[in-house]
Amino acid sequence: MFKTAINALWYLGNIPNSYAFRKAALHPERVQLAKLFHYLKSNAYTEFGQQHNFKHIKTFSDYQKCVPIRDYNEFRPWIQNIIEGKANILTSDNVLCLMPTSGATGDIKLIPYTHELQKEFSQGVAPWINNVFKLKPTIMSGSSYWSIAPNLIEYNQKSAVKIGYAEESTYLTNKIHELINSVIAVPNSLIKLSSVDSFNYLTLLYLIACNDLRFISVWHPYYFSQLLEQLEGYWQSLLHDLATGSISLNEKIDIKEFRIQPVPKRSEELAKLSANQYSRIWPELSLISCWGEGNSVYALKSLAQKFPQAIIQEKGLIATEAFISFPLGVNQNIKPISVNSHFFEFINDKGQSKLVNELRQGEEYNLVVSTAGGLYRYFLQDRIKVVDFFYNLPCLRFIGKPAVN
Protein backbone atom coordinates (compact mmCIF):
# COMPACT_ATOMS: atom_id res chain seq x y z
CA MET A 1 0.00 0.00 0.00
CA PHE A 2 2.85 2.38 0.81
CA LYS A 3 4.38 2.13 -2.65
CA THR A 4 0.99 2.44 -4.31
CA ALA A 5 0.39 5.63 -2.34
CA ILE A 6 3.80 7.10 -3.27
CA ASN A 7 3.39 6.33 -6.97
CA ALA A 8 -0.18 7.64 -6.88
CA LEU A 9 1.10 10.92 -5.42
CA TRP A 10 3.68 11.09 -8.19
CA TYR A 11 0.98 10.45 -10.78
CA LEU A 12 -1.22 13.18 -9.33
CA GLY A 13 1.71 15.57 -9.20
CA ASN A 14 2.35 14.94 -12.91
CA ILE A 15 -1.18 15.80 -13.99
CA PRO A 16 -0.62 19.57 -14.52
CA ASN A 17 2.37 18.98 -16.82
CA SER A 18 0.57 16.11 -18.57
CA TYR A 19 -2.45 18.32 -19.22
CA ALA A 20 -0.21 21.16 -20.40
CA PHE A 21 1.42 18.80 -22.91
CA ARG A 22 -1.92 17.65 -24.35
CA LYS A 23 -3.04 21.25 -24.63
CA ALA A 24 0.24 22.31 -26.25
CA ALA A 25 -0.07 19.49 -28.81
CA LEU A 26 -2.96 21.42 -30.38
CA HIS A 27 -1.09 24.72 -30.74
CA PRO A 28 2.66 23.95 -30.73
CA GLU A 29 3.75 27.13 -32.53
CA ARG A 30 2.11 29.35 -29.91
CA VAL A 31 3.73 27.40 -27.06
CA GLN A 32 7.16 27.37 -28.68
CA LEU A 33 7.30 31.10 -29.42
CA ALA A 34 6.10 31.88 -25.89
CA LYS A 35 8.98 29.81 -24.55
CA LEU A 36 11.50 31.57 -26.77
CA PHE A 37 10.38 35.02 -25.67
CA HIS A 38 10.40 33.93 -22.04
CA TYR A 39 14.11 33.03 -22.45
CA LEU A 40 14.84 36.38 -24.06
CA LYS A 41 13.04 38.41 -21.38
CA SER A 42 14.45 36.45 -18.44
CA ASN A 43 18.05 36.56 -19.68
CA ALA A 44 18.21 39.94 -21.41
CA TYR A 45 20.71 41.32 -18.91
CA THR A 46 23.03 38.34 -18.78
CA GLU A 47 26.42 38.61 -20.44
CA PHE A 48 25.21 36.50 -23.37
CA GLY A 49 21.89 38.34 -23.60
CA GLN A 50 23.53 41.75 -23.77
CA GLN A 51 26.08 40.60 -26.34
CA HIS A 52 23.27 39.27 -28.54
CA ASN A 53 20.81 42.13 -28.08
CA PHE A 54 18.07 40.02 -26.43
CA LYS A 55 16.23 43.12 -25.27
CA HIS A 56 15.46 44.22 -28.82
CA ILE A 57 14.53 40.84 -30.35
CA LYS A 58 10.84 40.95 -31.33
CA THR A 59 10.46 38.04 -33.77
CA PHE A 60 11.91 34.60 -34.44
CA SER A 61 13.57 36.12 -37.51
CA ASP A 62 15.29 38.67 -35.24
CA TYR A 63 16.47 35.81 -33.01
CA GLN A 64 18.02 34.05 -36.02
CA LYS A 65 19.82 37.22 -37.07
CA CYS A 66 21.14 38.07 -33.60
CA VAL A 67 22.12 34.57 -32.43
CA PRO A 68 24.09 32.28 -34.74
CA ILE A 69 23.83 28.50 -34.51
CA ARG A 70 26.76 27.23 -32.41
CA ASP A 71 28.20 23.89 -31.33
CA TYR A 72 29.61 23.23 -27.88
CA ASN A 73 33.12 24.43 -28.70
CA GLU A 74 31.74 27.83 -29.57
CA PHE A 75 30.07 28.02 -26.16
CA ARG A 76 33.30 27.26 -24.30
CA PRO A 77 34.20 30.92 -23.47
CA TRP A 78 30.89 31.39 -21.62
CA ILE A 79 31.19 27.97 -19.94
CA GLN A 80 34.70 28.92 -18.80
CA ASN A 81 33.32 32.03 -17.13
CA ILE A 82 30.85 29.84 -15.23
CA ILE A 83 33.71 27.52 -14.20
CA GLU A 84 35.51 30.55 -12.79
CA GLY A 85 32.49 31.36 -10.63
CA LYS A 86 31.06 34.28 -12.56
CA ALA A 87 27.27 34.69 -12.36
CA ASN A 88 24.73 35.96 -14.87
CA ILE A 89 26.68 34.62 -17.84
CA LEU A 90 24.22 32.53 -19.89
CA THR A 91 21.23 32.68 -17.56
CA SER A 92 19.95 34.80 -14.72
CA ASP A 93 19.14 31.51 -12.97
CA ASN A 94 22.00 30.15 -10.84
CA VAL A 95 23.96 27.19 -12.21
CA LEU A 96 23.52 24.18 -9.91
CA CYS A 97 26.31 22.17 -11.48
CA LEU A 98 28.08 21.43 -14.74
CA MET A 99 27.19 17.98 -16.02
CA PRO A 100 30.05 16.28 -17.89
CA THR A 101 29.29 14.31 -21.02
CA SER A 102 31.45 12.99 -23.85
CA GLY A 103 31.27 14.80 -27.18
CA ALA A 104 31.17 13.16 -30.60
CA THR A 105 34.98 13.21 -30.78
CA GLY A 106 35.48 12.02 -27.20
CA ASP A 107 36.13 15.48 -25.77
CA ILE A 108 34.45 16.44 -22.51
CA LYS A 109 31.51 18.82 -22.57
CA LEU A 110 30.26 20.54 -19.42
CA ILE A 111 26.55 21.35 -19.60
CA PRO A 112 25.13 24.00 -17.23
CA TYR A 113 22.21 22.75 -15.13
CA THR A 114 19.82 25.25 -13.58
CA HIS A 115 16.52 24.99 -11.70
CA GLU A 116 14.70 26.17 -14.81
CA LEU A 117 16.36 23.50 -16.96
CA GLN A 118 15.39 20.94 -14.34
CA LYS A 119 11.77 22.05 -14.66
CA GLU A 120 11.99 21.69 -18.44
CA PHE A 121 13.12 18.08 -18.11
CA SER A 122 10.29 17.45 -15.63
CA GLN A 123 7.83 18.80 -18.19
CA GLY A 124 8.91 15.98 -20.48
CA VAL A 125 9.08 13.24 -17.84
CA ALA A 126 5.57 13.93 -16.45
CA PRO A 127 3.40 13.01 -19.47
CA TRP A 128 5.67 10.09 -20.29
CA ILE A 129 5.60 8.48 -16.84
CA ASN A 130 1.86 9.04 -16.44
CA ASN A 131 1.36 7.29 -19.76
CA VAL A 132 3.49 4.40 -18.44
CA PHE A 133 1.27 4.16 -15.35
CA LYS A 134 -1.82 4.04 -17.56
CA LEU A 135 -0.24 1.45 -19.86
CA LYS A 136 0.63 -0.84 -16.93
CA PRO A 137 -1.27 0.19 -13.77
CA THR A 138 0.37 -2.62 -11.73
CA ILE A 139 3.63 -0.63 -11.85
CA MET A 140 2.15 1.73 -9.27
CA SER A 141 2.09 -0.97 -6.58
CA GLY A 142 5.75 -1.97 -6.90
CA SER A 143 9.33 -0.76 -7.18
CA SER A 144 11.19 0.71 -10.13
CA TYR A 145 14.79 0.67 -11.29
CA TRP A 146 16.02 3.91 -12.85
CA SER A 147 19.44 3.31 -14.34
CA ILE A 148 22.25 5.50 -13.09
CA ALA A 149 25.94 5.35 -13.91
CA PRO A 150 29.11 6.07 -11.92
CA ASN A 151 30.76 9.36 -12.79
CA LEU A 152 33.89 8.07 -14.53
CA ILE A 153 34.59 11.20 -16.58
CA GLU A 154 37.63 12.87 -15.05
CA TYR A 155 37.88 16.62 -15.24
CA ASN A 156 40.96 18.02 -13.61
CA GLN A 157 40.36 21.76 -13.87
CA LYS A 158 39.34 23.49 -10.65
CA SER A 159 35.83 24.86 -10.78
CA ALA A 160 33.83 27.22 -8.58
CA VAL A 161 30.71 25.30 -9.67
CA LYS A 162 30.30 21.62 -8.89
CA ILE A 163 31.25 19.40 -11.82
CA GLY A 164 29.25 16.21 -11.98
CA TYR A 165 26.03 14.91 -10.56
CA ALA A 166 24.39 16.97 -7.84
CA GLU A 167 21.36 15.59 -5.99
CA GLU A 168 19.36 18.72 -6.75
CA SER A 169 20.21 18.56 -10.47
CA THR A 170 18.23 15.46 -11.37
CA TYR A 171 15.58 15.52 -14.07
CA LEU A 172 12.89 15.71 -11.39
CA THR A 173 12.11 18.60 -9.09
CA ASN A 174 13.36 18.20 -5.53
CA LYS A 175 10.00 17.35 -3.93
CA ILE A 176 9.20 14.67 -6.52
CA HIS A 177 12.75 13.31 -6.37
CA GLU A 178 12.54 12.88 -2.59
CA LEU A 179 9.13 11.23 -2.97
CA ILE A 180 10.11 8.53 -5.44
CA ASN A 181 13.42 7.75 -3.72
CA SER A 182 11.37 5.56 -1.40
CA VAL A 183 10.12 3.35 -4.25
CA ILE A 184 13.24 2.97 -6.37
CA ALA A 185 15.16 -0.28 -6.17
CA VAL A 186 18.70 1.10 -6.57
CA PRO A 187 19.58 4.31 -4.68
CA ASN A 188 21.22 7.25 -6.44
CA SER A 189 23.96 7.25 -3.80
CA LEU A 190 25.75 4.50 -5.77
CA ILE A 191 26.92 7.19 -8.18
CA LYS A 192 29.54 8.12 -5.57
CA LEU A 193 31.41 4.83 -6.18
CA SER A 194 34.55 5.14 -8.28
CA SER A 195 34.91 1.44 -9.13
CA VAL A 196 32.77 -0.01 -11.94
CA ASP A 197 33.00 -3.47 -10.38
CA SER A 198 31.73 -2.24 -7.02
CA PHE A 199 29.01 -0.21 -8.72
CA ASN A 200 27.78 -3.20 -10.71
CA TYR A 201 27.95 -5.57 -7.74
CA LEU A 202 25.92 -3.31 -5.47
CA THR A 203 23.44 -2.54 -8.26
CA LEU A 204 22.82 -6.28 -8.63
CA LEU A 205 22.58 -6.73 -4.85
CA TYR A 206 19.87 -4.07 -4.59
CA LEU A 207 18.05 -5.50 -7.62
CA ILE A 208 17.87 -9.08 -6.38
CA ALA A 209 16.73 -7.81 -2.98
CA CYS A 210 13.72 -6.29 -4.73
CA ASN A 211 10.95 -8.89 -4.97
CA ASP A 212 8.37 -6.47 -6.41
CA LEU A 213 10.32 -4.93 -9.28
CA ARG A 214 7.71 -3.78 -11.81
CA PHE A 215 9.39 -1.15 -14.02
CA ILE A 216 12.89 -0.67 -15.42
CA SER A 217 14.19 2.45 -17.16
CA VAL A 218 17.68 2.10 -18.64
CA TRP A 219 19.49 3.77 -21.51
CA HIS A 220 21.17 1.21 -23.73
CA PRO A 221 19.65 -2.31 -23.55
CA TYR A 222 23.16 -3.75 -24.09
CA TYR A 223 24.30 -2.21 -20.80
CA PHE A 224 21.50 -3.87 -18.86
CA SER A 225 22.02 -7.22 -20.60
CA GLN A 226 25.73 -7.07 -19.74
CA LEU A 227 24.90 -6.22 -16.14
CA LEU A 228 22.57 -9.21 -15.89
CA GLU A 229 25.18 -11.55 -17.31
CA GLN A 230 27.42 -10.70 -14.36
CA LEU A 231 24.87 -12.29 -12.04
CA GLU A 232 26.27 -15.77 -12.67
CA GLY A 233 29.76 -14.90 -11.43
CA TYR A 234 28.47 -13.02 -8.41
CA TRP A 235 25.48 -15.24 -7.62
CA GLN A 236 26.64 -17.10 -4.51
CA SER A 237 28.30 -14.04 -3.05
CA LEU A 238 25.18 -11.95 -3.67
CA LEU A 239 22.94 -14.54 -2.02
CA HIS A 240 25.24 -14.58 1.02
CA ASP A 241 25.20 -10.78 1.30
CA LEU A 242 21.45 -10.70 0.82
CA ALA A 243 20.97 -13.19 3.68
CA THR A 244 23.39 -11.51 6.09
CA GLY A 245 23.20 -7.81 5.14
CA SER A 246 26.93 -7.74 4.42
CA ILE A 247 28.89 -6.55 1.37
CA SER A 248 31.54 -8.86 -0.10
CA LEU A 249 33.77 -6.34 -1.84
CA ASN A 250 37.50 -5.75 -1.78
CA GLU A 251 37.04 -2.01 -2.16
CA LYS A 252 36.71 -0.11 1.10
CA ILE A 253 33.31 1.55 1.13
CA ASP A 254 31.00 2.97 3.75
CA ILE A 255 29.05 -0.17 4.53
CA LYS A 256 26.53 1.79 6.61
CA GLU A 257 25.55 3.86 3.58
CA PHE A 258 25.27 1.03 1.06
CA ARG A 259 24.27 -2.06 3.04
CA ILE A 260 20.78 -3.49 2.74
CA GLN A 261 18.77 -5.08 5.51
CA PRO A 262 19.27 -8.87 5.75
CA VAL A 263 16.57 -10.72 3.81
CA PRO A 264 17.28 -14.43 4.46
CA LYS A 265 13.89 -15.55 3.16
CA ARG A 266 14.44 -13.83 -0.20
CA SER A 267 17.94 -15.33 -0.37
CA GLU A 268 16.56 -18.82 0.23
CA GLU A 269 13.96 -18.36 -2.51
CA LEU A 270 16.56 -17.20 -5.01
CA ALA A 271 18.94 -20.02 -4.10
CA LYS A 272 16.44 -22.41 -5.74
CA LEU A 273 16.92 -20.58 -9.07
CA SER A 274 19.76 -20.23 -11.52
CA ALA A 275 21.33 -16.83 -12.02
CA ASN A 276 20.05 -16.65 -15.61
CA GLN A 277 16.39 -17.27 -14.77
CA TYR A 278 15.68 -13.56 -14.97
CA SER A 279 11.93 -13.72 -15.45
CA ARG A 280 11.63 -15.89 -12.32
CA ILE A 281 13.93 -13.67 -10.25
CA TRP A 282 11.68 -10.70 -11.12
CA PRO A 283 8.34 -12.30 -12.08
CA GLU A 284 6.34 -9.08 -11.65
CA LEU A 285 8.46 -7.00 -14.03
CA SER A 286 5.98 -5.69 -16.58
CA LEU A 287 7.65 -2.87 -18.54
CA ILE A 288 11.20 -2.04 -19.62
CA SER A 289 12.01 1.34 -21.13
CA CYS A 290 15.24 1.58 -23.15
CA TRP A 291 16.70 2.81 -26.40
CA GLY A 292 15.62 0.84 -29.46
CA GLU A 293 17.03 2.75 -32.42
CA GLY A 294 20.39 2.78 -34.17
CA ASN A 295 22.85 0.31 -32.65
CA SER A 296 20.38 -0.63 -29.89
CA VAL A 297 18.15 -2.80 -32.10
CA TYR A 298 19.83 -6.17 -31.60
CA ALA A 299 20.47 -5.61 -27.87
CA LEU A 300 16.79 -4.74 -27.43
CA LYS A 301 15.74 -8.06 -28.98
CA SER A 302 18.08 -9.90 -26.61
CA LEU A 303 16.61 -8.09 -23.62
CA ALA A 304 13.08 -8.93 -24.76
CA GLN A 305 14.03 -12.63 -24.82
CA LYS A 306 15.27 -12.42 -21.24
CA PHE A 307 11.94 -10.98 -20.03
CA PRO A 308 9.16 -12.42 -22.22
CA GLN A 309 6.52 -11.28 -19.70
CA ALA A 310 7.47 -7.58 -19.99
CA ILE A 311 6.50 -4.92 -22.51
CA ILE A 312 9.54 -3.29 -24.10
CA GLN A 313 9.00 0.41 -24.68
CA GLU A 314 11.53 2.24 -26.85
CA LYS A 315 12.69 5.52 -25.36
CA GLY A 316 12.47 8.84 -27.10
CA LEU A 317 15.43 11.10 -27.76
CA ILE A 318 17.08 12.48 -24.63
CA ALA A 319 20.49 14.11 -24.34
CA THR A 320 22.38 15.62 -21.41
CA GLU A 321 21.62 18.99 -22.96
CA ALA A 322 17.93 18.55 -23.72
CA PHE A 323 14.78 16.42 -23.39
CA ILE A 324 13.60 16.10 -26.98
CA SER A 325 10.91 13.43 -27.34
CA PHE A 326 9.25 10.62 -25.42
CA PRO A 327 7.10 7.55 -26.22
CA LEU A 328 3.36 7.25 -25.77
CA GLY A 329 2.31 3.61 -25.66
CA VAL A 330 4.40 0.97 -27.43
CA ASN A 331 4.05 2.08 -31.07
CA GLN A 332 7.65 2.95 -31.91
CA ASN A 333 6.49 5.73 -34.24
CA ILE A 334 4.54 7.63 -31.58
CA LYS A 335 7.33 9.60 -29.93
CA PRO A 336 6.14 13.20 -30.05
CA ILE A 337 8.45 16.11 -29.46
CA SER A 338 8.45 17.35 -25.87
CA VAL A 339 7.05 20.68 -26.96
CA ASN A 340 6.93 22.22 -23.46
CA SER A 341 10.53 21.34 -22.62
CA HIS A 342 12.64 23.66 -24.80
CA PHE A 343 12.56 25.79 -27.95
CA PHE A 344 13.31 23.66 -31.01
CA GLU A 345 14.47 24.40 -34.53
CA PHE A 346 14.88 21.92 -37.34
CA ILE A 347 17.41 22.52 -40.12
CA ASN A 348 16.51 20.92 -43.44
CA ASP A 349 18.97 19.88 -46.14
CA LYS A 350 18.68 23.30 -47.76
CA GLY A 351 19.93 24.92 -44.56
CA GLN A 352 16.52 26.41 -43.75
CA SER A 353 15.39 26.60 -40.13
CA LYS A 354 11.88 25.21 -39.57
CA LEU A 355 9.72 25.47 -36.47
CA VAL A 356 7.80 22.57 -34.97
CA ASN A 357 4.59 23.43 -36.84
CA GLU A 358 6.37 23.51 -40.22
CA LEU A 359 7.70 19.95 -40.31
CA ARG A 360 6.57 17.39 -42.86
CA GLN A 361 6.20 13.65 -42.45
CA GLY A 362 8.96 11.64 -44.11
CA GLU A 363 11.49 14.49 -44.09
CA GLU A 364 14.78 14.57 -42.18
CA TYR A 365 16.22 17.45 -40.16
CA ASN A 366 19.17 18.37 -37.97
CA LEU A 367 18.23 19.47 -34.45
CA VAL A 368 18.94 22.88 -32.96
CA VAL A 369 17.72 23.67 -29.45
CA SER A 370 17.52 26.62 -27.04
CA THR A 371 17.14 25.74 -23.35
CA ALA A 372 16.70 27.30 -19.93
CA GLY A 373 20.21 26.06 -19.17
CA GLY A 374 21.59 28.81 -21.40
CA LEU A 375 22.36 26.99 -24.64
CA TYR A 376 20.89 29.23 -27.35
CA ARG A 377 20.53 27.90 -30.91
CA TYR A 378 22.70 24.97 -29.88
CA PHE A 379 23.55 22.47 -32.61
CA LEU A 380 22.72 19.17 -30.95
CA GLN A 381 24.41 16.91 -33.52
CA ASP A 382 21.35 14.70 -33.85
CA ARG A 383 19.57 13.99 -37.11
CA ILE A 384 15.91 13.03 -36.94
CA LYS A 385 13.11 11.96 -39.26
CA VAL A 386 9.44 12.84 -38.87
CA VAL A 387 7.59 9.49 -38.95
CA ASP A 388 4.13 10.39 -37.64
CA PHE A 389 2.06 13.02 -35.87
CA PHE A 390 0.40 13.17 -32.46
CA TYR A 391 -2.30 15.82 -32.85
CA ASN A 392 -0.21 18.65 -34.32
CA LEU A 393 3.11 17.47 -32.91
CA PRO A 394 5.68 15.70 -35.09
CA CYS A 395 6.81 12.29 -33.87
CA LEU A 396 10.55 11.87 -34.26
CA ARG A 397 12.87 8.99 -35.01
CA PHE A 398 16.57 9.30 -34.36
CA ILE A 399 18.52 8.70 -37.58
CA GLY A 400 22.10 9.35 -36.53
CA LYS A 401 24.63 12.13 -36.51
CA PRO A 402 24.53 14.80 -39.23
CA ALA A 403 27.00 14.39 -42.07
CA VAL A 404 30.07 16.59 -41.70
CA ASN A 405 30.75 18.64 -44.82
The pLDDT tens digits for 197-249 are: 889 999 999 999 999 999 999 988 999 999 999 999 999 999 999 999 988 88
Question: How confident is the model over 119-139, as a mean pLDDT?
Answer: 95
Question: How confident is the model over 280-286, as a mean pLDDT?
Answer: 97
pLDDT at 169 over 50: no
Report the 10 Å Cβ neighbour count for 306.
18
Question: How confident is the model over 66-80, as a mean pLDDT?
Answer: 97
Q: What integer pLDDT is reported at residue 182 of this predicted model?
A: 78
299-357 confidence digits (pLDDT tens): 888 899 999 999 999 999 999 999 999 999 988 899 999 999 999 999 999 999 999 99
At 168, is the pLDDT very low, low, confident or very high (cuts 50, 70, 90)?
very low
Cα dihedral 179→181→185→187 (10° resolution): 180
Which amino acid is residue 314, in one-letter code? E
More confident residue, 300 or 374: 374
Lowest mean pLDDT among 30-39, 76-85, 170-179: 170-179
With a CB cutoff of 8 Å and minimum separation 6, the contacts of 306 are 225, 228, 278, 279
Question: What is residue 182's DSSP assignment?
Answer: G
Q: For the chain, what percent of residues have pLDDT higher than 70?
A: 91
With a CB cutoff of 8 Å and minimum separation 6, the contacts of 97 are 113, 161, 162, 163, 164, 165, 166, 169
* SS3 state of residue 284: coil
Report the 10 Å Cβ neighbour count for 34.
12
Q: What integer pLDDT is reported at residue 79 of this predicted model?
A: 97
- Rounded to whole angstroms, how far apart are CA atoms 306 and 328? 23
- Rounded to whole angstroms, how far apart are CA atoms 275 and 47? 56
The strand pairing partners of 353, in sequence order, are 347
Q: What integer pLDDT is reported at residue 176 of this predicted model?
A: 61
Q: What integer pLDDT is reported at residue 71 of this predicted model?
A: 97
Question: How confident is the model over 85-91, as a mean pLDDT?
Answer: 97
- Please compute Rg for the chain using Cα positions: 22
42-59 confidence digits (pLDDT tens): 999 999 999 999 999 999
Averaged pLDDT of the chain: 91
More confident residue, 37 or 169: 37
Question: How confident is the model over 7-26, as a mean pLDDT?
Answer: 95
At 142, is the pLDDT very low, low, confident or very high (cuts 50, 70, 90)?
very high
